[in-house]
């Protein structure tokens, strides 16, 4: 992790990329020729330190591909089913159930920073209540709209439990902004709608989202889920993201 920081890379993306390369090597999709002589193996730290440096220096075609992320490398070498990327962005460190993965798939940034789907999964696991595609999609959309307000105000999302609507309105009033709850809701809806419109303009489609097979076969606290569940939830999210609440 220290070497990744030194090289100016993202820890999550680099970790996922190196994990994909490790499994690709074990499965024979790539060889030590592609890894420039490095025998990547889980539990062996030194080869990963060296591989991190080579993602930056890019001495081989495979490192040049890996530097562009697993969404680019997997179609070249294979192993898409364990290439853990959502909307082109490598997966963060939450595998709690369908809520977290739906958040990665639909979120404006395809990140755990768009909505806390992992919280929905954890609550479902605690309470033993099954999740539904429509319920998860609706909850994540409402949360992501509100997070547009918080990030627009440069509020750290770790403090989201502090900055509820009433607190935000009081803070804005102190700065001379006579806003209402409706104003905040409209800001969140419109900001998210504009982000999605920009992505669509650049070629993004909800229908084109790839769902990595590995997440469907790995046990999660909220219980098993399948691709049909996620596809249904994605469709429900898409139909509502353009509509005012």
Domain parsing of the chain, residue ranges: 2-83, 94-241
Go through 114-148 and write b for each residue having 16 or more CB atoms within 10 A of its CB, e for each that does not.
bbbbbbbbbebbeeeeebebebbbbbbbbbbbbbb
Q: Which two tokens stand for residue 97?
A: 């159930």
Q: Which two tokens stand for residue 209?
A: 């989202």
Q: What is the pLDDT of residues 174-230, one digit of tens each?
A: 999 999 999 999 999 999 999 999 999 999 999 999 999 999 999 999 999 999 999
The per-residue pLDDT for 243 is 73
CA–CA gap between residue 122 and residue 58 (Å, rounded): 40
Report DSSP letters for 80-124, one per residue.
GGG--EETTEE--S--SSHHHHHHHHHSTTSSTTT--HHHHHHHH
Beta carbons of 73 and 89 less than 8 angstroms apart? no
167 Cβ neighbours under 8 A, 6+ residues apart: none
The per-residue pLDDT for 245 is 62
46 Cβ neighbours under 8 A, 6+ residues apart: none
Is 2-83 CATH 1.10.569.10?
yes
pLDDT of 244 > 70? The answer is: no
The per-residue pLDDT for 212 is 97
This prediction's pTM: 0.92
Mention the CATH class of domain 94-241.
mainly alpha
The per-residue pLDDT for 242 is 79
């Amino acid at each position: 992790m220290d070497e990744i920081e030194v090289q100016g890379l993202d820890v999550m993306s680099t970790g996922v990329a190196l994990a994909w390369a490790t499994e690709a090597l074990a499965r024979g999709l790539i060889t030590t020729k592609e890894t420039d002589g490095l025998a990547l193996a889980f539990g062996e730290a030194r080869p990963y330190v060296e591989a991190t440096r080579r993602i930056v220096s890019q001495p081989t075609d495979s490192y040049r591909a890996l530097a562009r992320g697993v969404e680019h490398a997997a179609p070249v070498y294979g192993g898409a089913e364990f290439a853990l990327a959502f909307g082109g962005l490598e997966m963060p460190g939450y595998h709690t159930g369908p809520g977290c993965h739906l958040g990665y798939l639909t979120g404006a940034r395809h990140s755990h920073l768009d909505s806390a789907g992992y919280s929905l999964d954890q609550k479902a696991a605690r309470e033993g209540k099954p999740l539904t595609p429509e319920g998860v999609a609706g909850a994540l959309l409402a949360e992501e709209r509100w997070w547009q307000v918080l990030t627009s105000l440069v509020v750290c999302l770790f403090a989201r439990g502090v900055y509820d609507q009433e607190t935000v309105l009081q803070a804005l009033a102190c700065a001379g902004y006579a806003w209402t709850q409706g104003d905040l809701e409209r800001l969140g809806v419109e900001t998210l709608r504009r982000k999605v419109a920009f992505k669509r303009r650049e070629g993004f489609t909800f229908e084109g989202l790839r769902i990595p097979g590995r997440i469907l076969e790995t046990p999660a606290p909220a219980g098993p889920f399948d691709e049909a569940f996620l596809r249904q939830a994605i469709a429900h999210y898409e139909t509502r993201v353009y509509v005012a609440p």
